[in-house]
Amino acid sequence: MEEKIRVSKLLSELGLCSRREADSYIEQGLVTVDGEVVNELGSRAFRHQKIELQSGAKAQQASRITVILNKPVGFISHFDDEQEYQPAASLITTDNYFASPLDKGRNPRFNTRGLAPAGRLDIDSTGMLVLTQDGRVAKLLIGENSPIEKEYLVRVEGALSFEDLDRLKHGLELDGVVLKPAQVSWQNEDQLRFVLREGRKRQIRRMCELVGLKVLGLKRVRMGRISLGALPPGKWRFVRPEEQF
């Protein structure tokens, strides 16, 4: 017998919003099930029912900002409760805005409330960090089954055999879990290119350790179809409406 599921969970599974956003929309009466408004938290529905966000919810989503930061060494991705390290979000200021004619007059003085990293980048790593107010973007980039590729350039020290290069591509495990297949190739004589579809903690550094390599530098240069490009270190830009991960 089919069981009813929380509407907020169904909205998240459909990729329409995050569960937290879904609860907010339900409270505002901006969600319908088979055309009927639901406004009680914890409301449930069957999977076969038609669940939709109303125009008010879509307008709220359209106003949410997503930015790309070229994170320098020394900043952490997430907020530090002990305030020992500076979070990358502290770099999202008007002074660090990298202006572009493509932004068509967008104002870098926006309300950063709710702006959070969609993924991690270690304190000693650099490159592309996405910060967003949009739960759909966060789910797409860091959801459990995210289809989004992340590309890294990794400067290494040590010898790498053909067999170990193959192991980097597929065959290694971390914490008892086999890693998903990866694309790994030499970019130049001391730099590897990694393309991953997962983001375990310090994954690339630990993978390299398993094959006897020492990581000297790591930079993320692409997430999905959006590249870091010429964005200078410490600077940020808007993700534009025509850009899709």
Q: How far apart are CA 124 and CA 126, in angstroms?
A: 7
Residue bearing tokens 């730099």: 191
Dmax over CA atoms of the chain, in Å, equals 64
What 3-state DSSP class applies to 155?
Answer: strand
Active site residue: 81, 122, 166, 175, which one?
122
Contacts of 67 by beta carbon, 8 Å cutoff, 6+ apart: 92, 115, 130, 131, 132, 236, 237, 238, 239
What φ, ψ does residue 217 adopt, rounded to 5°? -165, 145
Q: Which long-range contacts (CB under 8 A, 24 or more apart) does 160-166 make?
A: 160/192, 160/211, 160/212, 160/213, 164/211, 164/212, 165/211
- Is-catalytic flag, 122? yes
Dihedral (CA of 218, 223, 225, 229) sign: negative
Going from the C-alpha of 109 to that of each of 87, 106, 127, 170, the distances in angstroms are 19, 9, 23, 45
Dihedral (CA of 81, 236, 92, 144) sign: negative
What φ, ψ does residue 192 adopt, rounded to 5°? -105, 150
Q: How far apart are CA 218 and CA 209, in angstroms?
A: 14
Q: Enumerate the active-site residues.
A: 122
